[in-house]
């Protein structure tokens, strides 16, 4: 079985590092990181990851705008997107569902549980 590729789009480097270490160590998944929405759009098109973990609160281009641009591009619109965000109130959740986001993982998250959370949402066998 080929290792999964996960794209993490988050402007906080320590979040990128924690996610990368957790996913690579626990599941041997390949992790690609991007520090901005614009960089994430380019890497998503180039890498064609199995899933994108997207932060909502980023400078310049926020997560909602990044998500909409991913959906508008035929090369990236089929890639599942999971939000990795601290904004998890009911109003926020409803907005994310309206956008078409697959699921939300709340920050702070447990790095040891992250691979299981991702696999559960996407129906991956671990």
* Domain of residue 41, CATH code: 3.40.50.2300
Q: Looking at the domain assignment, is residue 122 inside a domain?
A: no
Average pLDDT, the chain: 90
What average pLDDT does the segment 2-28 reach?
Answer: 95
What average pLDDT does the segment 57-66 reach?
Answer: 92
Taking the C-alpha atoms of residue 59 and residue 56, their distance in angstroms, rounded to an integer, is: 10
Q: With pLDDT > 70 as the criterion, what percentage of the chain qualifies?
A: 90
Taking the C-alpha atoms of residue 93 and residue 31, their distance in angstroms, rounded to an integer, is: 26
Q: Looking at the domain assignment, is residue 59 inside a domain?
A: yes
**Which of 42, 41, 33, 40 shows the shortest CA–CA distance to 13?**
33
What average pLDDT does the segment 82-99 reach?
Answer: 72
- The two tokens of residue 64 are 């909602």
Q: Looking at the domain assignment, is residue 91 inside a domain?
A: yes
Q: Looking at the domain assignment, is residue 123 inside a domain?
A: no
Q: Looking at the domain assignment, is residue 126 inside a domain?
A: no
Q: Could you please report the per-residue DSSP string of 49-110?
A: -SEEEE-S--SSS-HHHHHHHHHHSTTTTTS-EEEEES--SHHHHHHHHHHT--EEEESS--
Range picked from 28-32, 60-64, 121-125 for highest mean pLDDT? 28-32
Least confident of 88-97, 103-112, 117-126: 88-97
Residue 101 has pLDDT above 60, yes or no: yes
Q: Which residue has the higher pLDDT, 100 or 74?
A: 74
- The two tokens of residue 45 are 């098109």
Q: Looking at the domain assignment, is residue 124 inside a domain?
A: no
What average pLDDT does the segment 64-87 reach?
Answer: 92
The whole domain housing 50 covers: 5-117
**Quick one: 62 exposed, middle or buried, by C-beta within 10 A (0-12, 13-18, 19+)?**
middle
Contact (CB, 8 A) for 111 and 19: yes
Contact (CB, 8 A) for 117 and 123: no
Residue 1 has pLDDT above 60, yes or no: no
Residue 81 has pLDDT above 70, yes or no: yes
Q: How many domains does the chain have?
A: 1
């Amino acid at each position: 079985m080929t290792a999964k590729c996960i794209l993490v789009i988050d402007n906080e480097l320590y979040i990128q590092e924690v996610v990368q270490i957790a996913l690579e160590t626990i599941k041997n998944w390949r992790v690609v990181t991007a520090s901005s929405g614009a960089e994430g759009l380019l890497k998503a098109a180039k890498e064609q990851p199995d899933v994108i973990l997207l932060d909502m609160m980023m400078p310049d281009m926020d997560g909602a705008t990044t998500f909409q641009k991913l959906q508008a591009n035929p090369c990236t619109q089929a890639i599942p997107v999971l939000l990795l965000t601290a904004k998890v109130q009911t109003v926020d959740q409803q907005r994310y569902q309206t956008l078409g986001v697959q699921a939300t993982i709340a920050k702070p998250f447990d790095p040891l549980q992250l691979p299981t959370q991702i696999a559960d949402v996407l129906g991956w066998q671990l």
